Amino acid sequence: MTYCAAIRLKDGMVFASDTRTNAGVDHISTFRKLYQYGVEGERFMVLQTAGSLATSQAVFNKLQSDIDQRAESNLNTVATLFDAAQMVGECMREKMNHAKAVANSSRDGAFTSSFMLGGQIKGQPPELYLIYPEGNCIKATEDTPFFQLGESKYGKPILDRSVSYNTDVRHAARALMLSFDSTIHSNLSVGMPIDFVLYDNDSLALPNGRRIDERDEYFNTIRHQWSDALRRTLVELPKCPDGYWG
């Protein structure tokens, strides 16, 4: 399984993907599922994936090879983020159809991937797209500032409660760390390390990002503080009135 999420805020964007893949619970591996593209000062993009790892890697390879070989249309030349999202969607459908043909299969299901693409091109606003297994896409808005892929439910309540378009980007990053902590706690098939990228809007910088593992001191500090505070808050809630339970 996979859990990944991306948030587009007034002042910045945060992207996070776990790195666990599994074929059954007895075949677990670590693979990067978040890649960064761009040109310092010109354009910045992060692409995240969930679904068939083979299809996803075929897409990452094709996109990178188009950049390396300076294909006429590649992630470093497309005019808009929307064009980039369409390129990813079409590339995914092409790779999926190829895999289906090789396998002589009529089912899309086992071969599809989903993607999220976020970033900024100089002179344009920052944007975030969710690219469906069908290859089409939707854009994050002020009303719906975050997207999730994969094992999204365990970690959604904390984002629902604490992230809106005007939330500070570092505050949102902390909420996202806790969202991953909850998910990892509840689903074995989502696992550390987690690849995080934080982007300040209009910086057009290519951040190094951070790979957070079990020994990350800051991550451990906030997840323990969070866990202790939840436990304390629950203990301190008022007792139910007499006769409440009937």
| Site membership for a second copy, residue 156 (CB under 8 A) | yes
From edge to edge, which strands make up the β-sheet containing 113-121? 34-39, 43-51, 113-121, 127-131, 137-139
CB 76 within 8 A of CB 87: no
CB 46 within 8 A of CB 6: yes
CA-to-CA distance for 65 and 229, rounded, in angstroms?
48
| Site membership for a second copy, residue 173 (CB under 8 A) | yes
CB 12 within 8 A of CB 197: no
CB of 232 to a second copy, least distance (A): 9
- For tokens 């505050």, the residue is 171
Size of the site for a second copy (CB under 8 A): 44
- For tokens 């202790």, the residue is 228
CB of 82 to a second copy, least distance (A): 27
| Site membership for a second copy, residue 186 (CB under 8 A) | yes
CB nearer to a second copy: pick between 73 and 203 = 203
**Which residues from 89-148 bind a second copy, rule CB under 8 A?**
none
| Site membership for a second copy, residue 215 (CB under 8 A) | no
CB nearer to a second copy: pick between 123 and 238 = 238
Query: Which residues make beta-bridge pairs with 16?
Result: 5, 196
| Site membership for a second copy, residue 209 (CB under 8 A) | yes
Query: Which residues make beta-bridge pairs with 197?
Result: 15
Catalog residues that contact a second copy under the rule CB under 8 A: 153-158, 160-162, 170-171, 173-175, 178, 182, 185-186, 196, 198, 207-210, 218, 221-222, 225-227, 229-231, 233-235, 237-241, 244-246
